[in-house]
Amino acid sequence: MKSYIVGNWKMNFSVGESSVYLHKLQQKIRAFRSVEVIVAPSLVALQPLSLQVDRKKLRLAAQSANPHDFGAYTGEVSFTQLRGLVDYCIIGHSERRQLFHASDKDIRASVAAALRNQITPILCIGETETEHTFGETHDVVRDQLLGGLSEVSTEDISKVIIAYEPIWAISTTTGAHLASPDEIADIAKFIRRTLTETYGKEAGENIPVLYGGSVNPSNAGAYLTVPGINGLLVGGASLVADQFAEIIETAKKVQD
C-alpha cells in the first residue's frame, strides 16, 4: 500500500515564504510512486502554489474548509471553491476541534462536502491526555471515527484517509510526550476493526491510516513500521525542508 506523508504548515509562512519553501522542497525530493507527499499551506498561499507545484512530486491540501457549497458565510471558503486547487483537505484536526469548537456535525458535513467536490478528506481523530489517562481512548476514537464518517457511503469510504493524532503527543501541547509504537499499533488495529465492522473487510484492510504527534526525522522510521500505519501527519518538522525531505526519504526506504 502507498505511504502518505502530509506536512501541515498551520499558520506559518507568508505567500512569498511559502513559494520559496516549496521551490526548495521540490528540489530536494524525488518523485516516488510508493509515497504520496502532501503539503497543507495556509489558505492565502494555496492559489499561487497551485500554479507552482510539481504534481509528480507532491500534492496540495487545505487545512480546513466550510461544508456549505456557497452562501452568506463571511470569511469562509468552501470545498467547492477549493476544487481544482487541492487534492486533499485536513478535517477535524485537534486544533479545529479545541480552538475553533468544530462540532461532530461540522466535521461529518465537511467530510461529505469534500467527497462531493472530489477532494480526499484526511479525517483526524485522537484523544486528550485526560481521556488517555482514564482509559477512554477507544471510546473517543470510535465516536470521532464513526461520527466523522456517518454520512459516507460504502461506495465512498475508499476515498477517505484517517489520521490518528493523540492530542497528548502533539509537540505544541503542554507536557506532550511521545506515543509508543505499541500504543499506536493498538489504536491502528482498533480503527481498522471498527472500519471492518462498519464498512466491511476491504475497507478495514485498505483505508490508509496515518499517525501524527511530534513526528520528526529521528522517529519517523519507527512510526512508519508500526503495523497498520500507512503514513505520517507532520507538523513542526514539515516547516524545515531538510527535515521534511528526510522523512519523505525514510518513507521511501520503508516501502522498499
The H-assigned helical ranges of 136-240 are: 137-148, 181-199, 201-206, 220-224
Q: Which amino acid is at 160?
A: V
* Burial of 192: CB neighbours in 10 Å, binned 0-12, 13-18, 19+: buried
Catalytic position from the list 36, 93, 131, 132: 93
Query: What gap in Å lies between CA 230 and CA 207, rounded to an integer?
Result: 9
101 labelled catalytic = no
Q: Give residues with Cβ within 8 angstroms of 118, minimum separation 6.
A: 83
Q: Using the Cα atoms of residue 43, residue 47, residue 53 and residue 55 in order, give the sign of their dihedral.
A: positive
165 labelled catalytic = yes
Is residue 47 within 8 Å of 22, Cβ to Cβ?
no
Catalytic position from the list 127, 165, 246, 249: 165
Residues marked as catalytic: 93, 165
